[in-house]
C-alpha cells in the first residue's frame, strides 16, 4: 500500500525527509557507538579524572580541621538526621541527587526482568560479602573485639550513596545500579538484624570464637533507607519527569544534566572533609589501629 500524501505536497519532499531522518539516526548511532568505544578517561571531565587527588586533599583538609579546630566533632554531631550528622546527611543527599536524576526510569523494566542479574546481586551482597568481611575482620583484628565488631557490622551494610557515584564515573549502567541498590536496601531492612546476630553470636559460637553483640534497630535502618535513598530517588525521578515533559529528553540530557552533574562530586568531597574532621583526632592518635581497620575495606 502506497503512503498517502497531503494535497499540494510533492512526493520528493517526503522522500528527502525520510532520507534525512535515516541519515540523522545513523549519525546519532555512529556518534553513540564512537562514544561507547572511547576510553573511559577521555569521557571524564577534569574534576572526574583527578578525583583521587581531590579525595586525598579532602582527607588532609578534614584531618587538619579535626586536629586544629577545638570541639569540631561535637559541633558536627550536634544536629542529626536519621541518626546521621546533619552535615554528612546533606553531603550524601547532594552527592546522590545528580546521579539519580540521570537514571532513565522508563528503562528500569529491562533490569527487573533480568533474573540472573538480580539473583547474582543478592548472592554477592548477602552471602559472599558478609562472609568475606567476617573472615577479614577476624584475620586483621583478632585482638580488638570492638573494632572487629564494627568492621563486621559495616560489612553487613550495603552501600547506598557511594555506589551511584562510582558507577557513574565508570560509565556503568545507571538503571541497573538504581534497581539493584533499591532491592538491596529493602533486603537490608528485612535481614540486617538477623545477619548481625548470625555473624556476631551464632557463627563465632559454632567456630569456638569470642562472641560479641550489637543493637540493631529495624526502624532506624528503614529510616536511613527512606532518607538517603528514597528522598534523592524521588527527587531524581520527578526532576527527569518534569524536565523531559517541559523541554524534551535532548535538552534534559545534553543541557540540564551537565549543569548539575559536578554537584555529585562536590557532595562527595564535602562528605569526605566532614567525615575526616569528625574522626580527625581518633585517626591521628591511633593511626596503626585505623590502618588495620582500613585494609579489609580496601
Taking only the tens place, the pLDDT of each residue in 45-54 is 777 788 889 9
- Res 38: pLDDT: 57
**Those residues with Cβ within 8 angstroms of residue 150's Cβ, 6 or more apart along the chain or in another chain:** 293
Helices assigned H by DSSP within 157-261: 162-169, 174-197, 203-206, 218-225, 231-247, 249-251, 257-260
* Bigger pLDDT: 34 vs 131: 131
pLDDT tens track for 105-161: 999 999 998 999 999 999 999 999 999 999 999 999 999 899 999 999 999 988 877
pLDDT-derived band at 32, boundaries 50, 70, 90: very low
Q: What are 278's three cell numbers?
A: 569528625
Residues of the chain with pLDDT > 90: what percent? 52
Mean pLDDT of 265-273: 94
Range with lowest mean pLDDT among 19-33, 166-180, 216-230: 19-33
Helix, strand, or coil (residue 233)? helix
pLDDT tens track for 37-46: 556 566 667 7
* Bigger pLDDT: 16 vs 290: 290
- Res 42: pLDDT: 64
Mean pLDDT of 165-175: 88
CATH of 43-297, one of 3.40.50.300, 1.20.1530.20, 3.30.43.10, 3.40.50.720: 1.20.1530.20
**Those residues with Cβ within 8 angstroms of residue 222's Cβ, 6 or more apart along the chain or in another chain:** 189
Do the beta carbons of residue 136 and residue 296 sit within 8 Å?
A: yes
Phi-psi map region of 109: left, alpha, beta (phi>0 left; psi -120 to 50 alpha): alpha
pLDDT tens track for 210-261: 998 888 888 888 898 899 999 999 999 999 999 999 999 999 999 999 999 9
Mean pLDDT of 78-95: 91
The rounded distance, in Å, linking the Cα atoms of 142 and 149 is: 10
What is the C-alpha end-to-end distance of the chain, expressed in Å? 64
- Res 19: pLDDT: 42
**With 50 as the cut, is the pLDDT of residue 293 above it?**
yes
* Bigger pLDDT: 161 vs 76: 76
- Res 268: pLDDT: 93
Alpha carbon dihedral 164, 165, 166, 171, in 10-degree steps, equals: 90
Amino acid at each position: 500500500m502506497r503512503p498517502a500524501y497531503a494535497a499540494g505536497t510533492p512526493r520528493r519532499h517526503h522522500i528527502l525527509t525520510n532520507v534525512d531522518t535515516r541519515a540523522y539516526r545513523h549519525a546519532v548511532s555512529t556518534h553513540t557507538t564512537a562514544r561507547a568505544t572511547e576510553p573511559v578517561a577521555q569521557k571524564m571531565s577534569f574534576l572526574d579524572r583527578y578525583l583521587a587527588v581531590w579525595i586525598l586533599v579532602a582527607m588532609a583538609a578534614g584531618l587538619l580541621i579535626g586536629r586544629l579546630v577545638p570541639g569540631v566533632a561535637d559541633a558536627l554531631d550536634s544536629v542529626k538526621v536519621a541518626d546521621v550528622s546533619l552535615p554528612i546527611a546533606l553531603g550524601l543527599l547532594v552527592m546522590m541527587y545528580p546521579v539519580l536524576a540521570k537514571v532513565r526510569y522508563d528503562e528500569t523494566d529491562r533490569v527487573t526482568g533480568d533474573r540472573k542479574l538480580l539473583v547474582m546481586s543478592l548472592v554477592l551482597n548477602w552471602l559472599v560479602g558478609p562472609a568475606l568481611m567476617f573472615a577479614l575482620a577476624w584475620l586483621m583484628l583478632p585482638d580488638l573485639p570492638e573494632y572487629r565488631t564494627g568492621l563486621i557490622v559495616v560489612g553487613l551494610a550495603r552501600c547506598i550513596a557511594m555506589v551511584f557515584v562510582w558507577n557513574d564515573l565508570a560509565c556503568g549502567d545507571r538503571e541497573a545500579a538504581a534497581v539493584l541498590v533499591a532491592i538491596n536496601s529493602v533486603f537490608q531492612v528485612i535481614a540486617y538484624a538477623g545477619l548481625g546476630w548470625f555473624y556476631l553470636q551464632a557463627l563465632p559460637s559454632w567456630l569456638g570464637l569470642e562472641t560479641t553483640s550489637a543493637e540493631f534497630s529495624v526502624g532506624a535502618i528503614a529510616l536511613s533507607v527512606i532518607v538517603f535513598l528514597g528522598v534523592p530517588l524521588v527527587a531524581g525521578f520527578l526532576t527527569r519527569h518534569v524536565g523531559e515533559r517541559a523541554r524534551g529528553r535532548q535538552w534534559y540530557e545534553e543541557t540540564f544534566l551537565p549543569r548539575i552533574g559536578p554537584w555529585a562530586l562536590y557532595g562527595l568531597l564535602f562528605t569526605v572533609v566532614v567525615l575526616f574532621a569528625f574522626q580527625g583526632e581518633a585517626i591521628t592518635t591511633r593511626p596503626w589501629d585505623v590502618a588495620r581497620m582500613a585494609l579489609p575495606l580496601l
